[in-house]
Structure 1
């Protein structure tokens, strides 16, 4: 499909309870590349195979969770048009100045009915992935430090009013619905998976009474073997694991869920299929949600539904 409009997930800013502990975890255990620190006390990271300056930002706070999640758009004209479209839909937007985030241009920020702060931006300094743009190698030595995911892949966010959230993403931002879970009432959607590309999802939402909650940020691994290696590294470093290694029925992805030292859940993920906008969304009934979550065990893990940050 042609890549226009919203291109991909670009960054997440996450709160940690102890900054130095968070730096050590994301740098040494996750194997992210530190790319900068700013006057506000934020520390910037990227995955090794990402080319833009940063995708994962942490700051110290009294409560864990997510400050905002951002998507990169095609260009400045697209950013202006999407801002106008959001305003025409009735959504208030705010312009965040260039440089407010290191090496990042102006951002358009808005609040979803689920209580989450969302951003769009068009420019971020490219710093490369450590390899030449001419005759590059397939990987480099730094890419094997820690878990070393390829990229920030998606996020799952918990909050209320996801029916209205879906309208904003599909009617205004150009996403399409890939999969959904029908609620216990047999009618409403309890969870939705949305894509702006040919990935199986770029963001997902689940209905939850408290607004603005983070379920997880997901990092893409190259293979199932790399997911299993990530599990080994988690055990070597006493990382608290939630679910996995296993496969989802929903998205067909292979996964491990775990928590950082502050209680923010993250996912090491690979696989899935490649949908297109003309595909009919796949539907999971609530009585089969357990298989959608953990296909081999068909187990609906309580922590998956109740533990958020």
Structure 2
């Protein structure tokens, strides 16, 4: 698949109630690499195998949640074109100057119908993954620290108007719909999984009355053994687990959902199939989310917290 336009999830800025407690969780337990702190007090982190400066930014606040989620685009010309396309579609945009986030170029920020702030950017300093580019070793010391995911994989956001969100992402930003869950009456979508790549999803949405809510950030692991190891590390560090280790029917991914010290849910995820844009969309009935194994295939159970706990 030719990679043009929107390339991948780039970064998320999340709110934590105690900054240093949040840093200890994301750096020492989850195993991200701290890459900087700015004059606003924000802390920047990346997964060990990511090349760009940061993918997670922590900001201390009086309530948990997400400030914005960003995607990296191919180049500055693509950024300009997508901003013009958004404006032509009727979406107001804001240019955030280069350097407002450490080592990050200009960003185009806009609000989507679910009430979330989304950003696009083309430039972020490449800091590498600690491996040489000629005849590299397969891993580094950082890959053994904590859970040590290889990348920020996707997010799931809760908010209203996801039909309008789907139209914006597919008609303007070039995403395609991979899977969906129907509403109980079958007349619309209760949840959607969207991809801009060869991944089973890069972002997902669930219809929810409150706007701008975070369900989870997801971090990619490379094997089921690593998921089980993540469960051990969570238990050793008294991290409260929501669901798992288990397997989704939706996406076929293997997963653990847990909460950071501020109550933000995060996921350690592996697997999932590799779709193409010409594949027929997969549909789940609302009952299939639970009894059909969509959420938890082994237990065929709809966990109440999955639908009700967001930040």
The TM-score normalised by the length of structure 1 is: 1.00
What is the match of residue 79 of structure 1? 79
Name the CA distance, whole Å, in 1 between partners of 2:4 and 2:66. 27
Aligned ranges 1:30-109 → 2 under 5 Å: 30-109=30-109
SS of residue paired to 2:294: helix
Name the CA distance, whole Å, in 2 between partners of 1:257 and 1:163. 26
Instruction: Confirm whether residue 144 of structure 1 aligns to residue 153 of structure 2.
Output: no
Name the CA distance, whole Å, in 1 between partners of 2:82 and 2:288. 37
Name the CA distance, whole Å, in 1 between partners of 2:140 and 2:85. 42
Name the CA distance, whole Å, in 2 between partners of 1:292 and 1:15. 29
Structure 1 unaligned regions, length at least 5: none
What is the match of residue 159 of structure 1? 159
Structure 2 unaligned regions, length at least 5: none
What is the match of residue 193 of structure 2? 193
How many residue pairs match? The answer is 309
What is the Cα deviation at residue 23 of structure 1? 0.8
SS of residue paired to 2:147: coil
What is the Cα deviation at residue 72 of structure 1? 0.1
SS of residue paired to 1:293: coil
What is the Cα deviation at residue 218 of structure 1? 0.0
What is the match of residue 301 of structure 2? 299
Q: For residues 233-291 of structure 1, what are the alpha-carbon distances to aligned partners after superposition, in whole Å with 9 as ceiling and x for unaligned? A: 00000000000000000000000000000000000000000000001110000111111
What is the match of residue 205 of structure 2? 205
Q: For residues 16-53 of structure 1, what are the alpha-carbon distances to aligned partners after superposition, in whole Å with 9 as ceiling and x for unaligned? A: 00001001111110110000000111000000000000
Q: For residues 200-255 of structure 1, what are the alpha-carbon distances to aligned partners after superposition, in whole Å with 9 as ceiling and x for unaligned? A: 00000000000000000000001110010000000000000000000000000000
What is the Cα deviation at residue 9 of structure 1? 0.1
Q: For residues 154-175 of structure 1, what are the alpha-carbon distances to aligned partners after superposition, in whole Å with 9 as ceiling and x for unaligned? A: 0000000000000000000000
What is the match of residue 262 of structure 2? 262
Name the CA distance, whole Å, in 2 between partners of 1:287 and 1:29. 35
What is the Cα deviation at residue 141 of structure 1? 1.5
Which one is further off, 254-263 or 284-293? 284-293
SS of residue paired to 2:243: strand
Name the CA distance, whole Å, in 2 between partners of 1:266 and 1:131. 27
Name the CA distance, whole Å, in 2 between partners of 1:193 and 1:143. 29
